Amino acid sequence: MEKGAYLVHQNPDNNKDIVFSVKPDYQNKVPEIQQKLHLEIEKTLVVLQMLFDKDEKSFGLYFNQLLSLAQAGLVGDNAQPTIAINALQQFKNEIVDKKSGEVKNNYFKILGLKAFKLGFIPLIIGLVIIILHYYFPTCPELGKLYVFSNFLFIWSSCMLGVWLSFGARKTILTFEDLNILEEDKLEPIMRLLFAGSITMIFSLLFFTEAMTIELGSISTKSISDNTIVAIIFGTLLGLSEQVLGKKITKKAASIFDNQ
């Protein structure tokens, strides 16, 4: 046990905030473990404030627990920061167990709905073009549109790939993930638009054969005349949305570095 270096209490002007004040005797010499506990409690409070923004009852319950934990580890002549840090971890684990499924499923639904909205119309247009081309194979205009339809399928399958990517990457959520699921902080619609735009750039590189990728017996050389190949590579590009931006940047840099 050690003496607490802080005074800790609920903010009288904001009942969702905790005030930490260092005692005059401890200015510039707060024990490191108490500093660590202070910082971790501040981080935890931020997550709680955002996670339970519209649930006052649940926030109040967890806020009181966090406040008591902070006071136990930082206040008084018998402060126990080591025990408080361990208790804080258990506190986080409890919230993760209760909320991670809900948070992940809600985001998964939102991302899936946005992906469906962005991908559905291009998919339908692509299917209409294919059907018309099937019944009127000698029409030159439809022949040109047939190539365009594969780019529509690439876009739509990319939306599917981005949706699947989240499920594959975020199998287990941490406490910090409950607040911000994606490290880059992109909203679902912006993530989909960004990944789709990068995918179309790669598609143009594949179409012009400026870049070629072979996967078993299929190749990106076929994306303009093979719908199945277009869908496969569109989905794979969507699944790789986390690294697409870096890849296209490196590709562009290598092109101009060689000039």
pLDDT in tens, 115-158: 999 999 999 999 999 998 888 887 877 777 888 899 999 999 99
Helix (H, G, I), strand (E, B) or coil at 22: strand
Residue 259 clears pLDDT 60, i.e. is over it: no
Cβ(26)–Cβ(5) below 8 Å: yes
Instruction: Tell me the H-state helices in the chain.
Output: 32-51, 56-74, 81-135, 140-169, 188-207, 227-239, 241-257
Q: Which residue has the higher pLDDT, 251 or 2?
A: 2
Residue-wise DSSP of 124-174: HHHHHHHHHHHH-TT-HHHHHHHHHHHHHHHHHHHHHHHHHHHHHH-SS--
pLDDT tens for each residue of 42-78: 999 999 999 998 889 999 999 999 999 999 999 988 8
Q: What is the largest CA-CA distance in the chain?
A: 90
For the question of whether the overall pTM of this predicted structure is more than 0.95, the answer is no
